[in-house]
Structure 1
Amino acid sequence: MLVFILSLANFAIGMGVFVAIGLLLPIRQAFGLDETQSGLILTIYAVTYAIGSPVLVALTGARSRRNVLLIGLGIFALSAIMIALAPTAQVLFGARALSALGAGMVTPVTAGVAASISAPERQGKVMATVFAGLTFAQVLGVPAGTWIGYTFGWQSAFWLVAVLSIVCIAGIARFVPHDLPFEVTGLHSLGEALANWRGLLVIGFTTSFLGSIYVIYTNIAPLLESRMGYERDGITFLLILFGLGAVVGNYLGGWMADRVGPLRTLGTLCLLQIAIMPAFSFLPYADWMLAGVMILFAVAGWSFVAGQQVRVVRMSGNPPTVSLALNAAAIYLGATIGSSIGALAIGALGPDSLGLIGAGVAVIALLHLLLSHRVAHRG
């Protein structure tokens, strides 16, 4: 039950984060924002999370894991209520920053708890289960929240997020032991982690690998529109397939990490992405072929989560919770870098370049993986 509650907490976090993507248009209309201003709804969250999560995890490193989760979920629930009641865009942006701080306390700590309660040979499976909540949030929570938002008003989706967060608070209070063992950390732990360049090199693989994926994923809608002639329904269907593939990949990655080890798992995934991504540079295909490519792209992409987290815990040389917070920050950094590379590629070379550029970044990720593994073992 404990693992389920941790996964449910990540589901609430994921829904609160990603449902804003599906509701950007009504939110923009409600506050009179232009496209650039509405983009701040996502950018503010990503930047705040990347900076705030490692700091807050370090600052709360002496508190019980249950209390940290309760505080983080409380902040997240409050932020969802503030968003639903926001009278101005400034309050909305501030609430999104607050939600990033709450989420930044919850997600890394759930991973730390998962690592602490599982035997080494089962860490991959447990990590995958805990993070399945984030994956299911994209597959089920976001479409459901978007539908609710368009049907009952965009604020209703955030009220739902607040209710889910409160349910998770009750579950955490009931099922997470107050005396769960953990390694005490502080700001000095974060300072030591940031000074540990070998550990940062290990964690940085998250950025390079996700960067390769987001070269394509962020720009998938205009690519499909221009090369396949897809409109709303076609693009939505492929995104649903991507989400289902992500769910499969999340569990497959945990299984692989336990069976063959994180390094072989991640190396295999890099090679698969290098092979799969160029297909996006040679559209159009038959619909069924593109659907197959999209599923393989998602499976290979999201299989990395559990293996990389197990690797970070074992190899970074830092306290697990601090390392996992830095790893979570690296996720948003990778998404930002990959999206920027994709946008530059489209501007300079056109959308057909995305697949080959993404594969090139995946080659860099593979070299990064091998280098970080060698350096970490020498250290």
Structure 2
Amino acid sequence: MHTTPPDRFLIPTLSLCNFVIGVGAFGIIGLVEPLGDDLQLSAAQTGQLLTAYAVAYALLSPLLVASTGRVGRRRIMAAGFALFALAAIMSALSTGLTGLNIARVLAAAGAGIFTPLAAAVAASLSPEHQRAKVLAAVFFGLTMSQVVGVPASSWIAYTFGWRWTFWLIFAMALPCVWLIWTRVPAGLKFQPVTMGDLRDVVAEGRLMLAIMFTATFIGSQYILFTYIAPLLSATMGFGRDGIAMVLMVSGFGAVAGNVLGGFLSDRYGWRITLTWLCIAQMCVLPVFSLLPMSVPLLIVFAFLWAMGSWSFMAAQQVRLITIAGHRAPVVLSLNAAAIYVGAAIGSAVGGLMITGFGLLSLGITAGVGAACALVHLTLSARLNPLSEARP
């Protein structure tokens, strides 16, 4: 097995591919109104497209990664991205909700193959002491899709029509297939994972407890994040421009957090990093129950919140790779699925809190969620014998 990436363009290629996947996955947020107007769909019906993607990813990614474990990594990653590109064409040509939902499922399947394998390949080709930074670099593209790709998708949809957004995704995805084929090394010597590995991981309680920390942490964030727009509108009087400004600041915080998380994990180890991130979120999230406040102060807290939210992924992935051994691709696919599980749970909890206690309950509830994540982390680290303070 290699100890360093054989091609200096490998990590940028994987990051670029994750950027395209992020635009394809989350760009739908900016298409809700123009797509709904064109196809005469309600906002709730259009919003189902994001749910369909999330559910399909959560269910299909672990199964597809495990069932293709004996296929060459380069071939299966290129095939997954080709499927993602095909789904973009199907979306652009769809005339109704059924076709769009089928396309979203196919897109999730392609992304569910590529993203966890990209992390596994990058980690396996990098020195152990640099893994967190390398993984942060691979997922930098996914972070940038939130900052650049999603707003750009919305602008294109409102200006030229929603179908052009999907044609743009296809135009970006097609060269990515070629880059994967030319930059990912052929003949990587990985021990193949199987459906038996997936079954064993799911049955291993301590390992699943470690994986599901991702759902707990992400869930605490989505209690607030899902409803940040109506919260800002009700408490700060923000309209489109004010909300867009806060989301943009959050995007830059996410970029900073992605870089910071890799550095902290390499420097202090995953356990210390994750512990302090939970504590930081316990302090920052309740502040949003104190709105309204001055705009400059709100911007500072929005930046710190997003930075903390996006700093955890590199440390958590290093942790899981350390524990998983040759089953890392399956574990990473389950970890990616846990992101969507957490988002769904957090959104549901936030909705219940709004119904029962109002919008201002969201910050405090999210802070309690971060405290639960800290308890979860501490418990899972103690139960797993490989839980060391340093990677």
TM-score where L is the length of structure 1: 0.98
Q: Deviations over 1:333-357 (max 9, x none)?
A: 0000001111111110001111110
3-state SS in 2 of match to 1:377: coil
User: Pick from 244, 250, 258: which aligns with 2:266?
Assistant: 258
Determine whether 1:344 maps to 2:352. Answer: yes
3-state SS in 2 of match to 1:87: coil
Which residue of structure 2 lines up, in the alignment, with residue 10 of structure 1?
18
3-state SS in 2 of match to 1:319: helix
Distance 1:136 1:104 in 2: 19
Taking the TM superposition and a 5 Å limit, the aligned residue runs for 1:238-317 are 238-316=246-324
Determine whether 1:67 maps to 2:66. Answer: no
Taking the TM superposition and a 5 Å limit, the aligned residue runs for 1:316-355 are 316=324, 319-355=327-363
> How far 1:316 sits from its partner (Å)?
4.1
Q: Deviations over 1:150-178 (max 9, x none)?
A: 22111111111111111111111111111
3-state SS in 1 of match to 2:291: coil
Q: Deviations over 1:283-305 (max 9, x none)?
A: 11000000000000000110001
> How far 1:317 sits from its partner (Å)?
5.7
Q: Which moved more, 1:147-156 or 1:212-221?
A: 147-156
> How far 1:93 sits from its partner (Å)?
0.9
Distance 2:269 2:219 in 1: 23
Gaps of 5+ in 2: 1-8
Residues 200, 316 of structure 1: 8 Å contact kept: no
Which residue of structure 1 lines up, in the alignment, with residue 115 of structure 2?
107
Determine whether 1:166 maps to 2:165. Answer: no
Distance 2:210 2:326 in 1: 11
> How far 1:84 sits from its partner (Å)?
0.3
User: Pick from 38, 41, 55: which aligns with 1:33?
Assistant: 41
> How far 1:35 sits from its partner (Å)?
2.5
Q: Deviations over 1:162-196 (max 9, x none)?
A: 11111111111111111122220111111111111
Count of aligned residue pairs for this structure pair: 379
Which residue of structure 2 lines up, in the alignment, with residue 184 of structure 1?
192
Which residue of structure 2 lines up, in the alignment, with residue 201 of structure 1?
209
Residues 190, 326 of structure 2: 8 Å contact kept: no
The root-mean-square deviation of aligned C-alpha atoms, in Å, is 1.1
Task: Supply the AA of the counterpart residue of 2:65.
Answer: V
TM-score where L is the length of structure 2: 0.95
Q: Deviations over 1:25-45 (max 9, x none)?
A: 111112211222112111100
Which residue of structure 2 lines up, in the alignment, with residue 148 of structure 1?
156
> Identity over aligned residues, as a percent?
46
Q: 1:318 to 1:51 in 2, by over 3 A?
A: farther
Residues 274, 315 of structure 2: 8 Å contact kept: yes
Distance 1:88 1:159 in 2: 17
3-state SS in 1 of match to 2:69: coil
> How far 1:106 sits from its partner (Å)?
0.8
> How far 1:245 sits from its partner (Å)?
0.3
Residues 32, 43 of structure 2: 8 Å contact kept: no
> How far 1:242 sits from its partner (Å)?
0.4
Q: Deviations over 1:208-264 (max 9, x none)?
A: 000010001011000000011100000000000001000000010000010000000
Residues 202, 315 of structure 1: 8 Å contact kept: no
Residues 278, 359 of structure 1: 8 Å contact kept: yes
Determine whether 1:376 maps to 2:376. Answer: no
Distance 2:189 2:329 in 1: 12
Task: Supply the AA of the counterpart residue of 2:232.
Answer: L
Gaps of 5+ in 1: none
Distance 1:60 1:85 in 2: 29
